[in-house]
Chain A
Amino acid sequence: MRTYHQLTDPDRSGLADQIGAQRQRVAERLAGVRRIVAVMSGKGGVGKSYVTANVARALARARTPVGVLDADLNGPTIPRLLGVSRSAQQPAIGLDGVKCISMGQFLDEGAPLAFKGPEAESFVWRGAMEAAALREFLGDVEWGKLDLLLLDLPPGMQRYIELCDILGNPPAVLTVTIPTPESRDAVRRAMRAAVERGSELLGIVENMVGQEFNGTAADDLSKEFDTPVLARIPWHPTPDSWSALGSRL
């Protein structure tokens, strides 16, 4: 019996072509974006979204065209941080003129992300649906000309890996940590994965510095990965804290 690759008649479904068209769509939409930066961390609760939103606002105030794609599909907080209402396709315009798209713009207030589909064994297809949603966020938003598109990733590595697959090239990475050994260890794994995928490490932001947190996570990671500590953000940052960080991106 002949095998799959020995059957060469035209495939009317053209599934490979359809997937190729999706990739082309992403590439065309992002053609006007000079730089894509994924804001990530292996640790939850370190302030990735907070850093993303505030550095985006600082850049926007400095007249840098900037957009934010909230890739945290299950816990979208960017709309609240940027003060945008719900609408999609055209990116929403948030505080200080930051362009923004988020799953929070599609969901009912307070509702969790849920997909229609068979409930039994939903873990089998749920990840694929989330990746498809991310692809549409990248391929269906009219960003226009942007100097920087910040991608606010959820904790963990899954979304980053999906992002690399969809973009075709690994995005540059801005890493966020807090000054604790627990955060350092979780972030280390994420940074290692980013390096293995070929991402450029832009540097580390140490958030929530001072008060109860007085560790050396950022310095440890900086030395280990030979990448700079771009900012140490105190518990009560000023606009200057974010401007200084924005100027280093």
Chain B
Amino acid sequence: MKFLCVECDQQMAFGERQLPGDGTLAATFKCPQCGRVVAMLTNPMETQLVSSLGVEIGGRTVPAEPFEMVRSNIVTGGPAWSNDAQERLSRVPSFVRGMVKKIYADYAKERGIMEITPAIMDTARAELGLEGM
């Protein structure tokens, strides 16, 4: 991918890269002649595609670590579910159970909770407004 300043007919030079943390990417490019700066903004899906290539926009400053992509992109771990919590989850209708489980798991993960119990489910339900789940 390259950027051309049409007015100056000059190839723009890479400036900086930002990863705001929401899955998006911003990269700036500057025209060496007129100084105009443009930013390329990618959505999470586009950013993921670049990530899957194992390349760095702006260039690599250090060599890739072994299994860098696998280690940083595979979902592992996640909170454990107590027996009581599992039993309660099993009473959720099957067609929404996966979604409900993910909501509780995300809630726990964001708060560093290692085990989901009925009490945690009650707290999450109250905080997230999930009455009936």
Contact = CB atoms under 8 A, between A and B. Distances in A.
Interface of A: 1-2, 4, 7-9, 11-15, 18-19, 22, 88-89, 103, 106-108, 111, 113-118, 120-121, 124-125, 128-129, 131-133, 135-136, 140
Given A9-B13, A12-B14, A111 B69 contact: no
14 contacts: A1-B4, A2-B4, A15-B57, A19-B53, A88-B67, A88-B70, A103-B70, A106-B71, A120-B45, A125-B48, A129-B52, A132-B52, A136-B54, A136-B70
Contacts of B77: 108
Nearest to A131: B52
B84 interface: no
B59 A114 contact: no
A20 to B, nearest CB: 11
Interface of B: 1-2, 4, 6, 9, 11, 13-14, 23, 43-45, 48-49, 51-60, 64, 66-78
A22 B64 CA distance: 9
B128 to A, nearest CB: 18
B5 to A, nearest CB: 10
Contacts of A108: 76-78
A89 B65 CA distance: 10
Contact of A107 (B49, B52, B54, B76): B76
A2 B49 contact: no
B54 A132 contact: yes
Given A13-B14, A136-B68, A115 B54 contact: no
B55 A4 contact: no
B45 A118 contact: yes
Question: Which of A13, A88, A131, A136 gathers most chain B CB within 10 Å?
Answer: A13
A105 B57 CA distance: 30
A108 B14 CA distance: 40
Nearest to A115: B73
A7 B2 contact: yes
Contacts of A114: 74-75
Contacts of B57: 13, 15
B34 to A, nearest CB: 15
A117 B48 contact: yes
B2 A18 contact: no
B55 A19 contact: yes
A128 B66 contact: no
Contacts of A116: 72-75
A32 B54 CA distance: 24
Given A136-B66, A136-B69, A2 B9 contact: yes
A12 B52 contact: no
Question: Which of A12, A19, A103 gathers most chain B CB within 10 Å?
Answer: A12
